[in-house]
Structure 1
Amino acid sequence: LRPKPVHGGIALKSLGIDIGSSSIKIVEVQSTSKGFQVTQCMEHPLGIAPGHDQELEILEYLRDFASLYDPAQTRFVFALPQSRVAVRNKFFPFSDRLKIAKSLAFELEEDLPFSSDNAIFDAKIIRTVGAGAETLACAAPKIHVQNLIQRAQDSNMDPFLISAEGLAYANVFEKWNEAPPVVAAPALGLDEEIKPVRQVTLTLHIGHSRTLVCAFDGSSLIQIGSILWGGKNIAEAIAQKYEIPYIEAIKELQTKAFILTNKQGATFDQVTFSDTIAKCVREMARDLQLAILEMKSEFNALITSINITGGVSQIQNLGPFLTQVLEVPVNRISALDQIPNISFERSVANGAKMGVALGLALEGFKKPRNPPVNFLRGEFAKENHQFKMFWEKWGATIKVATAALVVLFVYTSLRESFSLSLADRTQEVLKTQAKTVAGLKGRAASENGIRKYIRDNKKRAADLKTLASVANMNSAMDIAKKINDAVPPKSTITLDIQQLSVQDQQVVLQGYVNSPKEMNLLQQALTNVSTDGQVKQGQSRLSPMPGRTAFSFSFNVDRNIEKVTR
């Protein structure tokens, strides 16, 4: 697919750009009056042949892509590969975001495989626990952030933010547009001995060269990992087994890959092909089992299920095979099915591959109550050109306005003396008119006295209008007569009215009839009395009676009340 050109629209767009090792995935999300809508998704396969200049192909494609959008109305969102971002689950005894940001370098210093002096830090609050906060503390080497910024600028794109793959991918499954959940302090066991069991769901995004592992407690992301394994490993195994070129092995993987769950009746070639893929998948499963053990140790986690997405997840019977190996239910899911507001037709391939790009696009619309993780900080923070542009455009106007303000202050000081003399004159005229028009004398001939005179007369006039409007009002007895006239004769229904309530224009009627059929006849007859022809059936509060059917109807009637114009 190619993106649709922008024709001067004012709707803000967020583009999640996932640059993988075998293709570029892009998802477009557009703001609407009701929230947001996913409007497009695109995939551009990259050349993977030996000697191919993949970086040049990426820049050329992104330049062509960027030319189709208005930079003023578009947010370009990129992500660092998860393998280049260190993520640790940390608990802080405070929940203030600024304090957390200042504490990150100290808290992560011993956990980082690189120097904290050469890193950019940020954090995602998972949930607030009493006065504290459980967070995912993140750090990325500056060199990787700088290289991604340079790639974006070479593609004629100004990155709105740079996040991480796993954090963005989690947006598809989290309540990303809501504030982090709040739990009571005892709900989080910080003591290792009393740490509660956490029901955890794993979601794997299996790509070409890496597998992203996200752990969710409910709808909250609690840990992220990356396994250096993907479709590339399977393709290499196929190429080695059948002695074919790597490109041909990739095609075989994309079009024919399967794992046999039952080898009975299968041919020798089918069994061989299945075993080649299964043996390779077991390597990933062993790494995943180690990651699961670490989670169980750190969180006292109970892995309840595993979901898989990504291009490799489309291998036939991959889910059942992993279920047998890991002894945990493994099911394939679609990232696009997790989002309701999609304006194009979903497909299995897009649902499998677009998870990270979709999450990045959503990251661009996050609010301050749950802000995105952004490595454009410190020396990489975006310069604020808005004030400079504002002054260049409105500087002359502001100078004129300042001069006018000074003149206004001078005029105000001179006007004060004029105002005092006018106030004295006004009081004299007020007393004269109060005596002449309203007949007020002495203390009553004041501003408050005149206001009271006006209020009393306005109230008297309003009361007269109200009285006139209800002079011809239909009484409750009139309404009862209309209902009696509209009800079918005794030969048709046996009616026993227990309650008749007339409140303003609304009438509530409760009672008994002999059957549901009689109740329907009564409801139809009452539409002739209703002003809008509607009779609503409600829940009767009457006690059940043998052989009788209780009913409760409410409808509006015309009380013949004229509207009063104030």
Structure 2
Amino acid sequence: MSALSALLHPSWLTLGRERHRPLLGIDMGASAVKVAEIQRSGKGWQLRFADCEPLPPQCIVDGQIKQPERLLQALQALLARHPQHSKTAAFSLSGPAVITKKIQLAALSELELEDQIALEAEEYIPFEIQDVNLDFHILNRQNDSMEILLIACKRELLESHADIIRQAGLQPQVCDLDLLCLINGWQTFIRPNEPTPANSATLLVNLGTTLLNIAVVSANGQPGYIRDHALGSRQLLQELKTRYDYSHEQAEQWLIMAESAPQHQADSAWQTEILPPFLEHLLQQVRQAIQFHKASAPEQTVGNLVLSGGCARLPLLRSLMAERLPIPVSLPNPFVNLTDHTRSGKLPCAPERFLVALGLALRGEQS
């Protein structure tokens, strides 16, 4: 395998009880950089800090860094506010330059598998093989076969993110995928508080500014369907800018206010013209994930849906999704069982935006 095998590794596996080395989780999203650092506290976890810094529009588009100097400034501002931060970091990738594929292979030894994966990748990866980094993880092993999660990303994407972290004075130690961090964070910080019905799967929906991450996690904790989609609040912002002649900042403020302002939520254009096409597109992707799960694991129903991300509080989104699917839809707080080392009890932005960063911070357990 390439260098990615040392840097990028799936993290969804149940965490063990090894000594946790604090690791700064850095989630570089399209609208903000989120960071989180945790430490062991008995059998649970303690929050050292969590913070976020907004990014200008077009700084990161579809997971790719377009304005590296602005991203670096945001990360440096976060580090300056938390001078006791760890000097090693974990970051994650998503978007069209990242490919995941579940494949079936004959049972092989670890050495044989590495050689075979390199051959299989040429069939499944739509990029020049010399331009990508590869990794894999064994999901399931039978006597004569194995199920493999193949992971590939463009080398330039990985290096562009790692370079920002190095320029900020940190050592990038772990690279992961947004989707796998989402699963890891849910397994550790949310699942214990929201037990799913017996023999049922959980649907994770992380809705951001430009990307939608969807994962179906089986009853045994293994990821089934995992996929990124080009869908997020940017489409809604554009509609608000066009309809009301708003600036980008005014449109963003409208969405922020709409989370708690009844007059915004009751806006007739929002209810009848702006939200419905966006919601329909979102539901189309969610239903596709559910259908895929039913086809691959017909004995398991999807028992609940967990929302996260910067757009999870869009007005009417949660209630309409629960009505249209219909399955229970929750918007949990991943910090609810985390004791606060800072004693402040305050977060700079909505808690559901930190699930990927928390999943990254957990990688200190595995590094």
Q: 1:36 to 1:103 in 2, by over 3 A?
A: farther
Cα distance in 2 for partners of 1:250, 1:64 equals 22
Q: 1:299 to 1:33 in 2, by over 3 A?
A: closer
Cα distance in 1 for partners of 2:348, 2:329 equals 17
Deviation at residue 93 of structure 1 after TM alignment: 4.3
Among all aligned residue pairs of Structure 1 and Structure 2, give the percentage whose two residues are the same amino acid: 18
Q: TM-score, normalised by structure 2?
A: 0.77
Partner of 1:215: 216
- Letter aligned with residue 224 of structure 1: I
Contact 1:82/1:164 (8 A) holds in 2: no
- Letter aligned with residue 76 of structure 1: A
Cα distance in 1 for partners of 2:156, 2:83 equals 28
Residue 290 of structure 1: which of 283, 288, 291 is its match?
Answer: 288
Contact 2:93/2:176 (8 A) holds in 1: yes
Partner of 2:355: 355
Partner of 1:270: 267
Deviation at residue 222 of structure 1 after TM alignment: 2.2
Partner of 1:280: 278
Q: Please tell me whether residue 247 in structure 1 is matched to residue 226 in structure 2.
A: no
Partner of 2:366: 366
Give runs of aligned pairs for residues 397-436 of structure 1, distance below 5 A.
none
Contact 1:211/1:229 (8 A) holds in 2: yes
Contact 2:32/2:52 (8 A) holds in 1: yes
Q: 1:258 to 1:326 in 2, by over 3 A?
A: farther
- Letter aligned with residue 13 of structure 1: P
Partner of 1:395: none
Cα distance in 2 for partners of 1:335, 1:32 equals 16
SS in 2 for 1:354: helix
Q: Please tell me whether residue 45 in structure 1 is matched to residue 43 in structure 2.
A: no
Cα distance in 1 for partners of 2:95, 2:75 equals 21
What is the aligned residue count?
A: 327
Cα distance in 2 for partners of 1:280, 1:86 equals 25
Residue 122 of structure 1: which of 120, 126, 135 is its match?
Answer: 135
Contact 1:336/1:355 (8 A) holds in 2: no
Deviation at residue 244 of structure 1 after TM alignment: 2.0
- Letter aligned with residue 254 of structure 1: I
Q: TM-score, normalised by structure 1?
A: 0.52
Higher relative strand content:
2
For residues 63-91 of structure 1, what are the alpha-carbon distances to aligned partners after superposition, in whole Å with 9 as ceiling and x for unaligned?
A: 354566579x6321111124321111234
Cα distance in 2 for partners of 1:159, 1:350 equals 26
Larger radius of gyration: 1
Higher relative helix content:
1
SS in 2 for 1:314: coil
Partner of 2:6: none
Q: Please tell me whether residue 13 in structure 1 is matched to residue 38 in structure 2.
A: no
Deviation at residue 287 of structure 1 after TM alignment: 3.0
Give runs of aligned pairs for residues 93-132 of structure 1, distance below 5 A.
93-94=106-107, 97-129=110-142
Which structure has the higher relative contact order (CA within 8 Å, separation 6+)? 2
Contact 1:311/1:349 (8 A) holds in 2: no
Give runs of aligned pairs for residues 301-450 of structure 1, distance below 5 A.
302-337=301-336, 340=338, 342-343=340-341, 345=345, 349-366=349-366
Q: 1:174 to 1:269 in 2, by over 3 A?
A: closer
Contact 2:27/2:92 (8 A) holds in 1: yes
- Letter aligned with residue 41 of structure 1: A
Give runs of aligned pairs for residues 170-249 of structure 1, distance below 5 A.
170-174=183-187, 199-218=200-219, 219-249=221-251
Cα distance in 2 for partners of 1:325, 1:306 equals 12
SS in 1 for 2:147: strand
Contact 1:171/1:359 (8 A) holds in 2: yes
Cα distance in 2 for partners of 1:24, 1:47 equals 11
Cα distance in 2 for partners of 1:124, 1:170 equals 15
Residue 24 of structure 1: which of 30, 33, 42 is its match?
Answer: 33
